[in-house]
Amino acid sequence: MADWFALERDIRAMLKQPEWDDGSIGPVLVRLAWHSSGTYSKKDGTGGSDGATMRHAPESTDGANAGLEKARAMLEPLKKKYPAVSRGDLWTLAGVVAVEAMGGPRSPWYPGRTDKEKPKAAEVPPNGRLPDASQGAPHIRDVFYRMGFNDRDIVALSGAHSLGRCHTDRSGYSGPWTNTPTRFSNQYFKLLIKEKWTKKKWDGPEQYEDPSGELMMLPSDLALIWDPKFKVVVEEYAEDKDTFFKDFSSAFGKLLELGVRRSSAKL
Ligand code: HIF
């Protein structure tokens, strides 16, 4: 049996890294947990975090995963220290622990993923399953409905963009969504509603900025206020942090469970 408490303690202890972005690797670990899970398709049950297939082509070289090789490498010492823990479990647990350590809610999480060392081609999801930030509500719905989420789940999950930032050398976009990118909060929803977002004038891809020019939104973020059904939920979460935290906790927990096949009971 792995010592889960010790592993969680070790994850928490490695989050603070002064030389990394805003001083914490928490946001990039949340992105790793999500991208390893978000390839799931309920149509055929392929994709998801079971197998830790992001180590293998073509998932490893998917442009959407640019930069995540660094996050995976940062967790490798813990894989060595806890060899019985699969990478699929390690990557997803790290996301859960990071959200909680940055002030967010705890999501339900269960171990039991099995890594695939030499997956067959059909066992590694193809490129193109993760969302494209240049697109709007129909695309976001296509991608998240394919995983089995509804509109409310989509908005709840989106609150995770209170964390972290975009990097020109990874996605091509630039900047953080909030002034507190290492603090999990409902600030993303407040900013979506309150700020005036205008197209950034630059050579990079289309993105939006607040009047200060310091904060950003992707076209896919603004889709949440351009689409009336999404917007109602954005307004609700901007007002009611507790409901957002509760809904995020269960939607993120559900995301990390997608496609996980266990030979025995959950715990
Ligand atoms: Fe992100 N996301 N995401 N995302 N994401 C980026 C960064 C983070 C989308 C695009 C991007 C979710 C949904 C979507 C995080 C967490 C989540 C980046 C920048 C892009 C372009 C990458 C880079 O340049 O480093 C799109 C189109 C999504 C569908 C709407 C989830 C809900 C918000 C599911 C989610 O949890 C986190 C955290 C980061 C910050 C990573 C960092 O290194 O700081």
Is 165 touching ligand 1 by the criterion CB < 6 Å?
A: yes
Where along the chain do the CATH 1.10.420.10 domains lie?
137-250
d(CA 216, CA 8): 32
Where along the chain do the CATH 1.10.520.10 domains lie?
4-129+252-257
Is 164 touching ligand 1 by the criterion CB < 6 Å?
A: yes
**Distance from residue 31's CA to the centre of ligand 1 (Å):** 6
Residue partners of 166: CB distance under 8 A and separation at least 6: 173, 174, 175, 176, 207, 216, 218
Q: Could you tell me which CATH class the domain 4-129+252-257 is placed in?
A: mainly alpha
Average pLDDT of the chain is 97
Low-confidence ranges of the chain (pLDDT < 50): none
Is 136 touching ligand 1 by the criterion CB < 6 Å?
A: no
**Distance from residue 158's CA to the centre of ligand 1 (Å):** 8
Is 192 touching ligand 1 by the criterion CB < 6 Å?
A: no
- Could you give the residue numbers annotated as active site? 35, 177
| pTM of the predicted protein model | 0.98
Percent of the chain past pLDDT 70, that is, above it, reads 99
Encode pLDDT of 221-264 as tens digits. Answer: 999 999 999 999 999 999 999 999 999 999 999 999 999 999 76
**Distance from residue 53's CA to the centre of ligand 1 (Å):** 19
Instruction: Decide: residue 13, CB within 10 A, 0-12 exposed, 13-18 middle, 19+ buried.
Output: exposed
Superfamily of 137-250 according to CATH: Peroxidase, domain 2 (1.10.420.10)
Torsion of CA 266, 151, 105, 265, to 10 degrees: 0
Atom from ligand 1 closest to the CA of residue 132: 27
Encode pLDDT of 131-163 as tens digits. Answer: 999 999 999 999 999 999 999 999 999 999 999
- HSE of 254, CA atoms in CB hemisphere, 13 A: 16
Token pair, residue 139, equals 């695309």
Amino acid 266: pLDDT: 52
1, 64, 69, 216 from 16: Cα distances, Å: 28, 25, 19, 24
Instruction: Decide: residue 227, CB within 10 A, 0-12 exposed, 13-18 middle, 19+ buried.
Output: buried
Amino acid 140: pLDDT: 98
**Distance from residue 143's CA to the centre of ligand 1 (Å):** 14
Which DSSP letter does residue 38 get? T
Is 158 touching ligand 1 by the criterion CB < 6 Å?
A: yes
Question: Going by DSSP bridges, is the β-strand pair 198-199/175-176 parallel, antiparallel, or unpaired?
Answer: unpaired
- Gyration radius from the chain CA atoms: 18
d(CA 120, CA 158): 32
